Amino acid sequence: MDIYFQNMNGIEMELTKEEKNELIIGSLLAGVFVILGIALLAWGFYLYNDLSNFLSTCEKTKGTIIEFVDLNRNRASEKAFVLPKVEYTAPDKNKYEFLAGITIWNDYEIGTEVTVLYNPDDFTDAKIDNFADLYFVPILPATIGFFAIFLPILTIYKHTKTLKP
């Protein structure tokens, strides 16, 4: 099977067997990365939309970190991955507890007072009001997805510019 390729200058040329194999494998890999990138990007936007909906209806109050749930279990690092457990008093005068997201970058300690965002319709749905804690989860998959889409396309573009007739 002959595969012809039109380079960026519009010149049609026949590819060698090695170039054909590289083109097929590269195209398949690029396709996989682009599909995964689209899925990650969509997931990031879904998480961001979910967070935006929460932020548009939430109320604020003060809460206190009462303990940490350790995710390290058998790792050497003491404070690498911990979930702060936060307690706050809702307008119904009851105390509620929730586990905040993974906190890698904060220096929270037990007894630290934090601003709590909670859903007025469901007091168990709450989050710490901190930019990193709120936006890290939606931004991470969206960023990885963007690069998973962009880099294969850029690589194919650069590769096609290097082919000479």
Q: Tens digit of pLDDT for each residue in 32-86?
A: 999 999 999 999 999 999 999 999 999 999 999 998 887 766 555 555 567 889 9
Q: What is the DSSP letter of 101?
A: P
Token digits of residue 14:
């026949």
Fold of 58-130: OB fold (Dihydrolipoamide Acetyltransferase, E2P) (2.40.50)
- DSSP, res 131: H
pLDDT at site 41: 94
Domain spans, the chain: 58-130
pTM recorded for the entire structure:
0.72
CA distances from 144 to 27, 73, 150 (A): 20, 28, 10
| Structure confidence at residue 152 as a pLDDT band (50, 70, 90) | confident
